Amino acid sequence: MEPIADVINKIVKRRNLGDPEKIQKQVLTDPSIQKFIKDHRQRVNDAMLKNSLPNLFEYYTQKHSENKVMAGYRPELFLNGKVIDVRYVPTTAKIASDHEKNTERHLQLIDLPQKLHDVRLSQVDITKGRSEVLGLISQFLHKYNKNVHQKGLYLSGDFGVGKTYILAGLANQVAAMGKNVVFLHVPTFIAGLSSHFEDNSLQSEIRRVADCDFLILDDIGAETLSQWSRDDVLGVILQSRMDNVLPTFFSSNLDMKALQDHFKETKNAIDPVKAARLMERIRFLAKEVIVSGPNRRH
C-alpha cells in the first residue's frame, strides 16, 4: 500500500497546490477538522487519522475552493468504520431553492399572473379588514394538516382589497405541502373554454379542475355566463368538489346573495332554480367572510 504522505504529495503536485508538508499541516489544523476529531476523540486515534488523511484532504480542498460540479452541496465528515470519511449534503440555499421549485411545480396558475407564485402568507399585511380571514385561514391550515376534507372560504369584498393576494399566499402554502393546487381566474377561464372544442380536450380540462387536491376560483361572479357554462362547467366542477369534499376557495366582488342573483340570468334565460342549486354547492363548500380595506391597486 502506498504511504499516505506519498499520496498527498502526488495530489498536491498534480494540482500545483504548493508545499505538501504545509498543506498537510493546514489540513490537520483546520478548525472544523479539529472540532470533528475533538467531538469523536473516544473513537479517533492516530492510526485512523493516518488512514483518513486522503479523505480529510478532500474535505479540506472542497471546503476551501469552489467546485461547480458540487454546487449546492457542502462536504461533511463522518465516521465510516475505521476511517473518517466525506459525504456531501445539500446547502441551506439549495434546500430552500428545491423547496421553492417543488412549491411552484405543485401550483398551476390558470389565466393569472405568474408573479403570484412568489406570494407568501407571511408577506400579507394583517389589517383590521383582513384579520378575520387570516385567522380563518390559519385555522383551516391547522385542520387541513390532519384531514384534507375541510370546508373552504368565500372571500367577498370590494376591488383591490387583497383577496387574490391572500389566496395566492394560501395557494403557495398548500402547494408546499405537496398538494396539487389549481388557482384560476373564472371569467378568463370560462371565456377560453371554446378553444378546447377544437382538440376535444374540454372534458379533460374540466376534470383537471374538478379533481385537483385544492381549488381556488378567483373573481367568480364577474364572468359572462351561458346556460352551458353555468350548468355543465361550473355546476359539474362544484358538484364533483362537493361529492368528494375537496377544499375549494372563492374570491368575488359579490356577496353570496348577489352571486345567486348573478347565476339566475344567462344570455337566453332566467332560471332561479338552477341558480339556487349552484349556490347550494358553494355554500356547502365554503363559508363567506368579508375582506375590507382600501383599494391597494391605486
Q: What is the pLDDT of residues 204-258, one digit of tens each?
A: 889 999 999 999 999 999 998 888 889 999 999 999 999 999 999 999 999 999 9
Contacts of 23 (CB under 8 A, 6+ apart): 8, 12, 17, 57
pLDDT above 60 (res 6): no
HEC assignment per residue over 148-160: CCCCEEEEECCCC
Q: Residue 147: is its pLDDT beyond 60?
A: yes
Collect all residues with Cβ–Cβ distance below 8 Å to 267 and sequence separation of at least 6.
224, 225, 226, 227
Q: What mean pLDDT value characterizes the chain?
A: 87
How far apart, in whole angstroms, are the C-alpha atoms of residue 278 and residue 237?
10
pTM above 0.75, yes or no: no
Q: Tens of pLDDT along 71-114?
A: 888 889 999 988 999 998 888 887 777 667 776 789 999 999 99
CA distance 209 to 110: 10
* Structural domains for the chain: 4-90 (no CATH), 97-290 (3.40.50.300)
Q: How many CB atoms lie within 10 A of CB 62?
A: 16
Contact between 222 and 185 (Cβ < 8 Å): no
Cell of 45: 486515534
Q: How far apart are CA 254 and CA 40, in angstroms?
A: 66
Angle at 211 between CA 232 and CA 277, to 5 degrees: 40
Where residue 18 falls (left for φ over 0; alpha for ψ -120 to 50; beta otherwise) is left
Helix (H) or strand (E) holding 83: strand 83-90
| Sequence-distant (≥ 6) Cβ neighbours of residue 156 within 8 angstroms | 251, 252, 253, 254, 255, 256, 288, 289, 290, 291
Measured distance CA(286)–CA(274) in Å, rounded? 19
Round to whole Å and give the CA distance between 254 and 121: 24
Confidence grade of residue 2 (pLDDT, cut at 50, 70, 90): very low
| Distance between CA atoms of residues 298 and 292, nearest Å | 15
Amino acid symbol at 42: Q
CA-to-CA separations, 181 to 67, 117, 260, in angstroms, rounded: 37, 12, 26
Q: At what angle do helices 46-64 and 4-14 cross, to 10 degrees?
A: 10
Per-residue model confidence as pLDDT tens digits over 110-140: 999 999 999 999 989 999 999 999 999 999 9
Q: Which residues contact 1 (CB under 8 A, 6 or more apart)?
A: none
Other Cβ atoms within 10 Å of 253 Cβ, number: 17
User: Cα–Cα distance between 99 and 105 in angstroms, integer?
Assistant: 10
Distance of alpha carbon 75 from alpha carbon 68, whole angstroms? 13
